[in-house]
Chains A and B, each alone.
Chain A
Amino acid sequence: MNRKPFYLSFIFFSLILLQVLILNNIRFLGYVNPYIYIAFIFLFPFKKNRFPILTLAFLLGLCIDSFSNSGGTHAFATTFIAFIRPYVFRIVFQKTEVDFEFFKLKQESFGKVFNFTVILTFIHHFILFSLVNFSFHNFFDVITRMFLSGIFTLILYFLGNFILSRKQES
């Protein structure tokens, strides 16, 4: 139980560094970039008190913003998915707040986890690219970017999840 905060802060900082120093330099096809740092929102433990996750999501987004000179776009999108996470959770997993204590993402079926992740990722990417675009022109461009980057992010997330969880078991 004591190791949890260290584990989470380690994930927090390593995700920022991974995103800023490596993934922001990918720019596949010029604009397709994975935004893997939102994995922190998926992995953060579910609790009744939602102030910590909102604050941490905001700080996480702000850190990414300060590195990539994007104002507050990442902060906005990340805070928003942190807020809607319990509602998506309720819809996808068919569970209430009572189950938070004993809930673990690993124990759920892959299909449900997949739905949960995909919904949050695409919402995040949609908000992010809309704000980056900052106008109602090029709306189709926003949608293509959202889909391409979203797919990229999801592939990376599930690959990373798969590799890391396999290591932990053995």
Chain B
Amino acid sequence: MQQLIYFFQKYKYGLYLLFLLSISLGLTINNHSFHRSKFISSTNSFTGGIYEKMSDFDNYLNLKDQNKALIEENLLLRNKISAFRNLTDTIIENTKTDSLNYDQQYTYISGKIFKNEFHKPYNYLTINRGNKHAVTSEMAVVNHKGIIGITDNSSSKYARVQSILNRNSKINARFKNSFHFGTLTWNAIDYNTVQLIDIPRQASFSIGDTIITGGRSAIFPEGIPVGTVISKNNSNTIDIKLFNDMSNLGNIYIIKSFHKKEIQNLEKK
């Protein structure tokens, strides 16, 4: 027993060292194993708290740089947005081959109406397409419901459209179920009603008949819907209710080119 106490007396530092070293070695091995030590790591509340404070301080010192980075990021995002806007503003050209009904081909250019008017005797619309987008004067403007007008003036980015609600507007139109044609005009009274004049006396029609473009003009292709007959004024003038609500127009299509395949084939021969 005395020997044992003497032994402890002699090697107390060595034993204490061994004790401490085995603890730290245990911790090291534990740290290398899959189940990491949960007590001695920077995730406990004390060390984590100190790190949090330090990181707050660090963030405060870096505010200037971070502002710079944020501004750069904002700039980048703004550029992306404007690029995206440009992208959505690009022209969608859509070629439609109409071989079933009228055997003709034309190309649409999409566009949007910037300014619309319908309350004057001579109404003009402004659209966001111009020479840049291959839009020149005397091109047909329609939308999905029907006829809208004819371009009469174009700048590099914009074009002016002579609405069908214009006293100068004269468009060839015919009945859908017969080939009697007339001229589409407007008497400047009601923006929902246009007049078809100069129809042949022998033309037979009834109220509710559909009117479409005639295809005799160089501007409109054949078969664009216009409206329905609502009443007959005198022998050769009838009132037509438009399919389009002219006070409520948005997206439009400009018809770029159309030709009848038959005529082309004929000219080739």
Chain A residues in the interface with B (C-beta under 8 A): 20-21, 50-51, 54-55, 58, 61-62, 65-73, 75-76, 79-80, 83, 131, 134
- Main secondary structure, interface of A, reads helix
- Return 17 A-B CB contacts under 8 Å, by A number: A21-B50, A65-B40, A66-B39, A66-B47, A67-B50, A68-B42, A71-B29, A71-B30, A71-B32, A71-B40, A72-B26, A72-B30, A73-B28, A75-B20, A76-B21, A76-B28, A134-B32
A72 near B17 with CB under 8 A, answer: no
Chain A-chain B contacts (Cβ-Cβ < 8 Å), number? 76
* Docked-complex contact B21 and A21, CB < 8 angstroms: no
Cβ of A71 and Cβ of B54 under 8 Å apart? no
A contact residues around B28 at 8 Å (CB): 70-73, 76, 131, 134
A54-B13 in contact given A70-B31, A134-B28 (Cβ < 8 Å): yes
For this complex, into which size category does the number of interface residues on chain B fall? Answer: 20 to 34
**Taking the nearest CB of chain B, how far is it from the CB of A47, in angstroms?**
12
CB distance from A158 to the nearest CB of B (A): 27
With the chains together, A94 CA to B41 CA distance in Å?
Answer: 41
Contact of B31 among A21, A58, A69, A83 (CB under 8 A): A69
Residues of A within 8 A of B40 (CB): 62, 65-66, 71-72
Scan B221-261; emit 1 where CB is below 8 A from any A CB, else 0. Answer: 00000000000000000000000000000000000000000
A58 to B19, CA, bound (A): 11
**A65–B31 Cα gap in the complex (Å)?**
11
Contact A71 B17 (CB under 8 A): no
**Are A71 and B16 interface neighbours, CB within 8 A?**
no
Neighbour of B44 across the interface among A58, A66, A71, CB < 8 A: A66
Known contacts A65-B27, A71-B37, A80-B21; A21 and B32 CB within 8 A of each other: no
Given the known A-B contacts A69-B42, A71-B27, are A79 and B32 also in contact in the complex, defined by CB atoms under 8 Å? no
B155 at the interface (CB under 8 A from A): no
